[in-house]
Structure 1
Amino acid sequence: MGPLVLNTRPDTDSTDLLAALDKRGYRHLSAPMLNITFPVPTGPLDIKKYQAVIFTSANGVRAFAKLTGDRSLPAYCVGDATARMCATFGFDDVYSANGDINDLATLIRKKVDPAHGPLFHPAARKTAGDLGQMLLTDGYEVDRQTVYEAHESNSVPEDVLEALRNHHIEAVLFFSPRTAETFVKLVRSYKLERDLSGTSAICLSPAVQSKISDLTWYRTRVASQPTQEYLLSELGSLS
């Protein structure tokens, strides 16, 4: 039996990750730190005035697909997983920054002429960064609309609590600053701080790592590039 790993991603984003862990021989438990909900659309979305759509998460793609069947706009995506979700929903013109929000801003500056019209950014109410503000000085108009909600979890599953308290979990995987923040809140709520001294934290980026740095870990690792593949490479280096 392989090492036991804790996944903190929302259920909607975990399918590929859990399959990858299975393939690598890891056992896993899940404690989603965010619960994703999609409001019922009040009417169809008119995207005719936009020249492109920006996706900073796969859930943004899922929400967009609920709002309109129009796939005519080019899609600029933060990473490959989000780009694959676009392809799944029928987008033909898809670009991936293969990184984080800063890489996405760089990609947009290279590929998109701000003079050709505004960009549509379907997103959660809270995001890891303000892409519109980042691009504003370059002349881009970004229309960000809340199309889904990411609610912080207020509890930890009993099987995960037991595994943490018995020091059975070798590593916890963190993919976003907000999931990391929520995990820290719950660890303190359940008084689990001392139970992490033998557990490693594997983080997608330095921004994610900064949110869990106040806890006492056996070690922390950061993916050399902000993708699932590189995060799992760091997990493999613990063996």
Structure 2
Amino acid sequence: MLEELGWRCWGMESLVIAPRTLSAQRGIAGVLITSSQSIPALSSAVAHDIPVYAVGDATADRVKKQGFQTVISASGNAAKLAELVTERLSPASGPLLLLSGEHQGVELAGTLRASGFRIRRRVAYTTAPATTLPPDALAALRDGQIETVMVFSAASARAFCAALAQTGCAAGSLRAIAISQNTMKELRKAGIQTVLTAQSPDMAAMLDRLGPAPSPSSH
């Protein structure tokens, strides 16, 4: 996508994802998912006629492609997902299954439990940070070809900054585009001073913050 807009790009998988397979969950009124990484576990945990409430539009679209019949997007973050659930559902509806990463979803579960909902939180995947930058990205960084980094989660920010610190490259020379306030805070902790935060946690807002690609003569 970025190449089509005129940007020259290097990629880094900052987190190594290990999906988990869950046993079938019975008596569930709905499922909450905070990341598309939960989708493999979702398919094994519940039938496709169970309503799914997704944190954002991209995740919702991926769930629909798996054949789930009722998928509703909060079009935001975990706080927006909590608002969506309290608006659409009643605690009397039955237990809700929350699928998240190993250290994620705890605050969301607590918020909904405080509102009277019964939440079954299950770990749908685990993550481990990548420890090094890809060789091509490292070479481009050292050559001054990379000026901007786009970071899509706080965990990815921590992994990228830890890997960057091992290279000896100066973090302060980079501009970063962060998908959330928490992501921005992690980047600034590492010494990246110019951090622009997306107005909403989605690709369109990230691209808006990124701005137009430089002209070919400025590469």
Q: Shared fold by TM > 0.5?
A: yes
Unaligned runs of at least 5 residues, structure 2: 215-219
CA root-mean-square deviation: 1.9
Q: State how 1:70-149 maps to structure 2 within 5 Å.
A: 70-127=47-104, 130-149=107-126
CA distance in 1, matches of 2:106, 2:142: 34
Matched, 1:232 2:213: no
CA shift, 1:238, in A, is 7.5
- What secondary structure is seen at the aligned counterpart in 2 of 1:122? strand
Q: With structure 1 as the length reference, what TM-score do the two structures score? A: 0.83
Would you say the 8 A contact 2:13–2:130 is kept in 1? Answer: yes
Shift of 1:216: 3.7
Please list the CA deviations of residues 75-126 of structure 1 after superposition, one character each: whole Å capped at 9, or x if unmatched: 1000001100111101121110111111111111101111111101122212
Shift >3 Å, 4+ stretches: 215-218
1:101–1:129 CA contact under 8 A, matched in 2: no
Kindly indicate whether residue 187 of structure 2 is the aligned counterpart of residue 212 of structure 1.
yes
Deviations 1:40-84 (A, max 9, x none): x4xx7333311000010111112222x247211111000001100
CA distance in 1, matches of 2:62, 2:68: 9
- Runs of 5+ unmatched residues, structure 1: 1-19
In structure 2, C-alpha distance between the alignment counterparts of 1:114 and 1:32, rounded to whole Å: 39
The answer (yes or no) to whether the contact 2:55–2:78 under 8 Å persists in 1 is: yes
- Is 148-157 or 214-223 further displaced after alignment? 214-223
TM-score normalised by length of structure 2: 0.90
* Separation in structure 1 between the aligned mates of residue 124 and residue 181 of structure 2, nearest angstrom: 27
Equivalence for 1:185: 162
SS at match of 1:151: strand
By how many angstroms is 1:199 displaced? 2.2
2:14 corresponds to which residue?
33
Identity among equivalent positions (%) equals 27
